[in-house]
Amino acid sequence: MRNLSEIRSLLDELEHRPADALEDQDLDFKEWNSHSMADAVRLVVEMAICMANGGGGAVVFGVNDKAMGRANAILGVPPEVDVNRLKKAVYDSTDPKLTPVFQELTEPEGTGRLIVMQVYPGLPPYTDTSGRGTIRVGKDCQPLTGTVRRKIMVETGETDFTAVEVAEPIETLLSASALEQLRANARREKAPDDLLNRSDRDLLGALGLIRNGRLLRAGVLLAGNSDAIRSSFAGYVWTHLRMSSDTDYSDRADGSEAIPIALDRILDRIMADNPITTVRQGLFHFEIRTYPEIALREAILNALVHADYRIPGPILVKQFRDKLEISNPGDLPGGITPENILRHEPVPRNPALVDALTRLRLVNRSNLGVRRMYQALLIEGKEPPAILDEGQAVRVVFRASDLSAPFRMFVAEEADRGRILTVEYLLVIQHLLRQPEIDTATAARITQQTEADARETLSRMESEFGSIERGGTGRGSYWTLRDDLHRRLSASGLSERDRRIDWDAAKTRVLSVLMDRARRGGPGLSNREIRQITHLDRFQVIRMMKELMAENSGIGKPGKGRKACYIIAKVAQKM
């Protein structure tokens, strides 16, 4: 939940970009309707429902989310608007009842007053008293359709498909080999011996997989025989394909065993074609696979555990020459997106199954599985996994990128010094090996942090680790990789001067085009066009143009939002 301090910090960003660019799953900005109190209150109720269904969040009222510049964006909320009335309106108009917290934020622009509505997570679905509702998905409020309502009920455990009791006697449903493999996997993760040494029935009971003397479907998935699995999960199957091209495969295997057996069978097939690179470190030789086993295991287990078993479709593994794809039926649950998956609280699609695996220490409630995937790849100098939400399926893509021996050695040496490199640290370093510099906005985006947290990460990397160096001042600050470290890790021999963006050259090119268009009476330049000219990203263009406008009074930016263009006045054409 965003606190007032974080929101106030974000408001400063309005000088450089519109509020729409700052919005996220848990944050929205809305302009207050000063012409109709009824419409304004109706919007408050709608946003409370949207946020509550999407896992909670904050809504800042009184901000035009399309305008640039604080003075243009912060319009404020009229002083006569009573927050107690808003609270009562939300309570009276929602079902089940919502009681958000309203806070006032004093700012010098507009009416001088913003209202922040904090909506805390509850037990969705929520609607208004007429049964209408929306749900927060990314930055949008989408209709709460019947399909979405069912999805919410599944994710909250209200209709957990894996928690349904199976009528047949427990002993006829179990597989001795699945139970043996389940115990072996749990022992590897150091699950308690007093749990694993119990009899089969007692173990399943302790895992919450037996209710009213009957085995739950989750128990069938973990310890069931093939007949029981086919009966309870008619659409469940896993498929591994060795792809010879985008459309053809040279080898195929299918199975529908219990999860512990399926996990090991899939992993064995991948590892049989997972090339090894040998790295020397002193007297030792280390063999490192193209795809780290820990990342593979986490990705396969996630696909098996978080699949939507109501949807017919395989747990599909495609192994190409240059990449590996793992997909499962069902989208990302509970407001999780590829852009927030490192930070979002875990949302189990199959709570009974996840609860049992958590007690066995095979999955973690703290959302560490995805971070482990990232870290296993990043410490070897490889690209992090790509996670794609395709609506009816989630796909994880590993690229067969080469091991960076210098980077792996660097990580090992840092560990020997007692410095554990976090995923955020590794993402920043990897970015700086591919790009000359990084600013706070970019760091926040690639590490999935708030800008305040990203700024703290960069500051710690500079002051405590000494791996990056700061340039610029204030909001124009940027960070570069320490020159000697860049040479060592990239083996490129580039100097600091070579690695820096040539801002003067970029400004000269843009100024030349602006002057040429002004002479011909042509249009100005949009952010997108400047990106094409300079090969900078969106935020680098904003930063550069702000500096260029400060240096050249003839340059302006009329208009708002994406349609706004930078122009140069005729008086500046002789420059």
Q: Is 221 helix (H, G, I), strand (E, B) or coil?
A: helix
What pLDDT, in 10s, does the model give residues 175-231?
999 999 999 999 999 999 999 999 999 999 999 999 999 999 999 999 999 999 999
C-alpha to C-alpha distances, 112 to 86, 298, 342, 404, nearest whole angstrom: 19, 50, 36, 54
Q: Which residues of 545-558 are buried (b: 16+ CB within 10 A; e: fewer)?
A: beebeeebebbebe
Contacts of 431 (CB under 8 A, 6+ apart): 438, 442, 443, 446
- Phi and psi at 224, nearest 5°, equal -85, 160
Distance, CA of 436 to CA of 265 (rounded, Å)? 43
Mean pLDDT (whole number) for 50-77 = 94
Structure tokens of 169? Answer: 């006697």
With cut-offs at 50, 70 and 90, classify the pLDDT of residue 444: very high
For the whole prediction, is pTM greater than 0.75? no
pLDDT at 420 over 90: no
| 170 CB burial (10 A radius; 0-12, 13-18, 19+) | buried
Which residues lie closer than 8 Å to 316 by C-beta, 6 or more apart? 238, 239, 241, 325, 326, 327, 328
Helix (H) or strand (E) holding 280: strand 276-281
**Residue 155 pLDDT grade (very low, low, confident, very high; cuts 50, 70, 90):** low
Give me the percent of the chain exceeding a pLDDT of 90.
56
Q: What b/e sequence results for 374-392 when a residue is b if at least 16 CB atoms lie within 10 Å of its CB, and e otherwise? A: bbbbbbbbbebbebebeee
Distances (CA, A) of 131 to 67, 91, 195, 251, 312: 34, 15, 46, 51, 30
SS3 content of the chain, % helix, strand, coil (to 5): 45, 20, 35
Domains of the chain plus CATH, in order, are: 4-144 (3.30.950.30), 405-499 (1.10.10.10), 503-572 (1.10.10.10)
Confidence category of residue 493, pLDDT binned at 50, 70, 90: very low
H/E stretch holding 5: helix 4-11
Region 45-68 average pLDDT: 94
Q: For tokens 């040998």, what's the residue?
A: 278
CB-based burial, 110-137: b 16+ in 10 Å, e otherwise: bbebbbbbbbebeebbbbbeeeebbbbb
Task: For 89-137, write each residue's pLDDT tens digit.
Answer: 999 999 989 989 999 999 999 999 999 999 987 778 899 999 999 999 8
What DSSP assignment string belongs to 288-337?
EESS-HHHHHHHHHHHHHS--TTS---EEEEE-SSEEEEEEES---TT--
- Give residue-wise pLDDT tens across range 301-347: 999 999 988 888 899 999 999 999 999 998 887 778 899 999 887 77
Residues 130, 184: Cα–Cα separation, whole Å: 53
pLDDT computed for residue 160 by the predictor: 81
Per-residue pLDDT reduced to its tens digit, 248-273: 999 999 999 999 999 999 999 999 99
How far, in Å, CA of 26 to CA of 5, rounded?
A: 15
Of all helices (H) and strands (E), which one includes residue 253?
strand 249-255
